[in-house]
Amino acid sequence: MISGCESAFIIMSKLKSIEENFFSVGRYWGSLNSSLVRIGCLRAMHTGVPISDFNWAWNEKPLTGQDAAFVENVKNYYKQNNLRFWWWVYPRGNSAHTSSTLENAGMKLIAHIPCMAANLDIKALDEKMPVQITMTEVKDDINLLLWADISFRGFHMSERVREQYNAFVLSFGRGAPSTQKLFIAYMDGKPAATSLLFMNSGTAGIYYVSTLPEYRNKGLGFYVTLAAMRAAKDAGYGEVILQATPDGEKVYRRIGFIEYCKAQIYKPDRFKN
C-alpha cells in the first residue's frame, strides 16, 4: 500500500518528467535551426512552420510584474519572424501573477491540455500487433520524407506550409546517436500513421502521433504509440510522457497512461502576421 507521502512523491516525480521532457524537446527543436532564445526566465523557439502549435514560448517559473517587458520581447520575436505561436504554462510556472502578466500582455487562455505519463512495465506492451499492421523505424531520408508526409496529412495541415514543415522534419537527426526515434505504422502494407519518441534529460516523451483520416479507428494510433513506448523501454527508461489531444486521450488511457496535470496554452488575442 502506498502512503500519502509516497503518493505525493510519485505525483511530483511524474510532473517533473512531464515538464522536463517538454522543455527539453522545445530546446532541442529550437537548436535545430538556431531559433532558441532565452529572454529573462522565458524561453522561445520556432520551427519555421507558420502554424501556432509549431512555435513555442514557455516560462519555467512563475512570472511577476517585472517580467512584463520580457513577455513583450517574446511577442516581438515572433512578429519579427512573421510567425504565430503558443505560450505553454506548466504547473511549475503557473500562478495568479503568471496569468495576469500574460493577460495584460494581450495573451488569451485558449486550452488546457492533459499531460499524461505511463510506466513501462504495463501489460499493454506485451500486446501483439494484428497481422495487417506492421511497424518501421525511420532511419533514412526516404522514410523521413514519408514520415513527414503521413504526419502532415494526418494533422490536416494546409499545403501552403508543406515546404516549411518538410524543412523542419528533414533537420531531424537519424539513427542510434539521435535523441529522437520516429516510427511509421502500415496497414496492409500502406503507410498510415506516425509517432516520435524524444529522449533527453533522463526522460522520454511521445509526440506526433498522427493517423491518416481513412485509417482511423483501426488501432493504428494504439500500436504506433506502443512502438515508441517499447523503444523507450529498450533504451532503459522506466516511464514515458505525452500531451494528449481530445481524440488521442481515450487511446492513451486504454494503453495505461494517467493524467497528472494540464498545461495551459495562451496565444496573442490579436496578432497580425
pLDDT (tens digit, 9 = 90+) per residue, 138-164? Answer: 999 999 999 999 999 999 999 999 999
**CB contact burial 166-195 (16+ within 10 A = b; e otherwise):** bebbeebebeeeeebbbbbbbbeeebbbbb
Instruction: Say what the alpha-carbon torsion angle 167, 168, 169, 173 is, to the nearest 10 degrees.
Output: 110
Q: Could you give phi then psi for residue 47, rounded to 5 degrees? A: -100, -10
**Distance between CA atoms of residues 184 and 151, nearest Å:** 9
Q: 4-113 and 119-261 share one CATH topology? A: yes
CATH fold of 4-113 reads Aminopeptidase (3.40.630)
How confident is the model over 87-97, as a mean pLDDT? 97
Strand 86-89 with 55-59, pairing: parallel
Per DSSP, what are the bridge partners of residue 136? 184
Are residues 224 and 183 in contact, defined by beta-carbon separation less than 8 angstroms? yes
Domain chopping of the chain, boundaries? 4-113, 119-261
pTM for the full model? 0.93
Are residues 194 and 150 in contact, defined by beta-carbon separation less than 8 angstroms? yes
Q: Could you give phi then psi for residue 126, rounded to 5 degrees? A: -90, -5
pLDDT (tens digit, 9 = 90+) per residue, 167-222? Answer: 999 999 765 557 999 999 999 999 999 999 999 878 999 999 999 999 999 999 99
- For the segment(s) 119-261, the CATH number from 3.65.10.10, 3.10.350.10, 3.40.630.30, 3.30.420.270 is 3.40.630.30
Conformation bin of residue 268: beta by default, left when phi > 0, alpha when psi is -120 to 50: beta
Q: Which triple of cell numbers denotes residue 216?
A: 482511423
Quick one: which H or E segment has residue 15?
helix 4-32
Question: What confidence score (pLDDT) does residue 2 get?
Answer: 40
